[in-house]
Amino acid sequence: MNSIATTLADCDDVQSLATTLAQVCAAFGPVAYLRIVTLSNRGRREALCFIQLATRANEAALADLLQAKWVDDFLTLRVPLGGVDELLAATACATHPAAALAK
């Protein structure tokens, strides 16, 4: 994991991730599109980020830096959000007591 990926993974919520990601992207030009969708996978929170710059010229360099993948016309990045979704974990444990969720 590179230092940028580590910095993004240190974000605990969508707002801090969006702010940090916008700052990183801005170094490559104006951001035309930035959307973040949150996911929960076995109690672990993740964010799926979709990015487009205003001009395509620097997107390849940004993709390399972020280790992002292309999906259609968007740079796509999956980022773990800090911590465990406690409500989801509690619900899963109550519903399925035999299931052990690692924290």
C-alpha dist (Å) from residue 30 to 38, 96, 100: 24, 47, 45
Per-residue tens of pLDDT for the chain, all 103 residues: 567 877 888 888 899 999 999 999 999 999 999 999 998 877 788 999 999 999 888 999 999 999 999 999 999 999 988 754 444 445 555 555 554 444 4
Q: Which residues pair with 46 in a beta bridge?
A: 39, 80
Contacts of 56 (CB under 8 A, 6+ apart): none
Give the rounded distance of the alpha carbon of 90 from its chain centre.
Answer: 23
Q: Which residue ranges form the domains of the chain, and what is each CATH number?
A: 3-95 (3.30.70)
What is the pTM for the complete model shown? 0.74
CB-count burial class (<10 Å; 0-12, 13-18, 19+) for 95: exposed
